């Protein structure tokens, strides 16, 4: 199985040897059937030949165009904090991708740890999940990774673009990372550029220029992933300054390990080793042994991973080296006030629409 970095080197054209060229040629042909399947599916929904179901609750979808990590979980957490302050009864609907033996996946476990009062509904049938959540009192449904899920109507569609790989190397799966054509951005209500602080202003402008070719993009929202604190499996938290000057060995199982690495490097530590695993990786005893051995060889003082990776561990140390997770908090760098106003207006419009519907039934 290709690692995220290996695939990136192949798909981006960084590798120019004969096997890499053959890989790009073969996968280029296979993206044709994938494009046809996604285009036909979208057309069927657009023409109402495939039916969507509308919930009584306000449905807000957070999704992306590409596979891999664009920062959906930190953004979901941002929304949970925002709507929690407004006393909304929030529920999260997730497919539970990457879970094992019908157990919650790593993102679900992370969200449950950070927001224990918010109900989560896992399952491929998110129409059924929406009905259950609404029946149990939720008035706002956060549809996690919902942009390609068309069966459940949404009142607000937010698409995240990772500034490091915003358009999936310009190709659909399996040639690139795109799950559907960039033209699909026209369906989105809002587009958010995540990790925007990790590229130049010129690069950001180039991305927005391309976005605006398919989307009105009246709100050019830009966000960053900021290291917030350290946490471990015992529930202990430490301020971020505990990383300053420390020799750190890091590992992660993310769709975009480069983003985590850059965030960690900016935290003030000395990164003496970095080991990426596939997204949603289930860590075995051998994996833990390998991490501990590499950390010892690198003379690391701390082993650091992500919060979602830490959900798969029970220990606070690996071979006597303390094991911590870097808690990440999403910060809106551009357009936060406009985002809040937009969210409030959309939610109020939904409330009034429901109220008018009830009154018309009475009449």
Residue 327: pLDDT over 50: yes
Helices (H) and strands (E) in the chain, counts: 10, 13
Task: Say how many residues make up the chain.
Answer: 363
Q: How confident is the model at residue 258 (pLDDT cuts 50, 70, 90)?
A: confident
Q: What is the pLDDT of the chain when averaged over all its residues?
A: 93
> Using CA atoms, how far apart are residues 192 and 231, in angstroms rounded to an integer?
27
What is the average pLDDT across 297-307?
A: 97
Residue 102: pLDDT over 60: no
Q: Is 58-219+335-362's fold the same as 227-330's?
A: yes
pTM of the model: 0.91
pLDDT at 298: 97
DSSP 85-126: HTT--EEEEE--TT-STT---HHHHHHHHH-TTSEEEESS-H
Which of 173-182, 198-207, 258-267 bottoms out in mean pLDDT, i.e. has the lowest? 258-267
Residue 252: pLDDT over 90: yes
pLDDT at 359: 58
- Find out whether 155 and 185 touch, Cβ atoms under 8 Å: no
Locate the domains of the chain by residue range: 4-46, 58-219+335-362, 227-330
Residue 103: pLDDT over 70: no
pLDDT at 100: 54
| pLDDT tens per residue across span 210-247 | 999 999 877 889 999 999 999 999 999 999 999 999 99
Percent of the chain with pLDDT over 90: 84
- Find out whether 5 and 257 touch, Cβ atoms under 8 Å: yes
Q: How confident is the model at residue 259 (pLDDT cuts 50, 70, 90)?
A: confident
What is the average pLDDT across 280-299?
A: 96
Q: How confident is the model at residue 363 (pLDDT cuts 50, 70, 90)?
A: very low
Q: How confident is the model at residue 177 (pLDDT cuts 50, 70, 90)?
A: very high
The two tokens of residue 45 are 């929904």
Q: Higher confidence at residue 105 or residue 127?
A: 127
Residue 96: pLDDT over 80: no
Q: How confident is the model at residue 299 (pLDDT cuts 50, 70, 90)?
A: very high
Residue 155, C-beta contacts closer than 8 angstroms, at least 6 positions apart: 58, 59, 60, 346, 347, 350
Residue 56: pLDDT over 50: yes
| pLDDT tens per residue across span 36-50 | 999 999 999 999 999
Question: For the domain bounded by 58-219+335-362, which CATH number is listed?
Answer: 3.40.50
Residue 278: pLDDT over 50: yes
pLDDT at 44: 96
Count Cβ atoms below 10 Å from residue 60 Cβ, excluding itself: 24
Fold for the domain defined by 227-330: Rossmann fold (3.40.50)
Lookup result for tokens 């490097």: 265
pLDDT at 2: 76
Residue 70, C-beta contacts closer than 8 angstroms, at least 6 positions apart: 64, 160, 161, 162, 194, 255, 256
User: Among candidates 220, 242, 249, which has minimal Cα distance to 342?
Assistant: 220
């Amino acid at each position: 199985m290709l690692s995220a970095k290996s695939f990136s080197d192949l798909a981006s054209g960084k590798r120019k040897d004969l096997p890499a060229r053959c890989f790009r040629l073969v996968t280029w042909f296979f993206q044709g059937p994938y494009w046809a399947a996604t285009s036909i599916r979208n057309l069927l929904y657009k023409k109402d030949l495939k039916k969507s179901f509308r919930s009584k609750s306000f449905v807000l979808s957070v999704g992306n165009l590409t596979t891999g990590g664009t920062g959906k979980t930190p953004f979901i957490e941002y929304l949970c904090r925002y709507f929690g302050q407004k006393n909304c009864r929030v529920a999260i609907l997730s497919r539970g991708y990457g879970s094992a033996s019908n157990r919650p996946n790593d993102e679900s476990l992370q969200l449950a740890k950070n927001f224990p009062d918010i109900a989560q509904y896992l399952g491929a049938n998110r129409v059924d999940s929406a009905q259950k959540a609404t029946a149990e009192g939720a008035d706002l449904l956060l549809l996690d990774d919902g942009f390609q899920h068309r069966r459940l109507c949404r009142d607000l569609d937010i698409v995240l673009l990772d500034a490091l790989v915003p358009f999936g190397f310009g190709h659909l799966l399996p040639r690139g990372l795109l799950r559907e054509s960039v033209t699909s951005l026209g369906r989105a209500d809002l587009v958010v550029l995540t990790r925007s602080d990790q590229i130049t202003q010129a690069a950001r402008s180039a991305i927005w220029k391309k976005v605006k070719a398919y989307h009105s993009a009246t709100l050019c929202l830009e966000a960053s992933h900021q290291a917030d604190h350290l946490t471990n499996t015992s529930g202990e938290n430490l301020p971020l300054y505990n990383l300053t000057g420390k020799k750190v060995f890091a590992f992660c199982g993310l769709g975009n390990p480069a983003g985590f690495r850059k965030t960690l490097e900016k935290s003030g530590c000395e990164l003496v080793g970095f080991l990426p695993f596939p997204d949603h990786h289930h860590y075995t005893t051998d994996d833990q042994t390998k991490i501990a051995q590499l950390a010892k060889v690198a003379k690391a003082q701390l082993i650091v991973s992500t919060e979602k990776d830490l959900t798969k561990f029970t220990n606070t140390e690996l071979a006597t080296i303390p094991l911590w997770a870097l808690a990440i908090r999403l910060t809106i760098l551009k357009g936060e006030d406009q985002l809040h106003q937009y969210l409030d207006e959309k939610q109020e419009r939904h409330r009034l629409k429901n109220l008018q519907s009830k009154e018309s039934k009475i009449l």
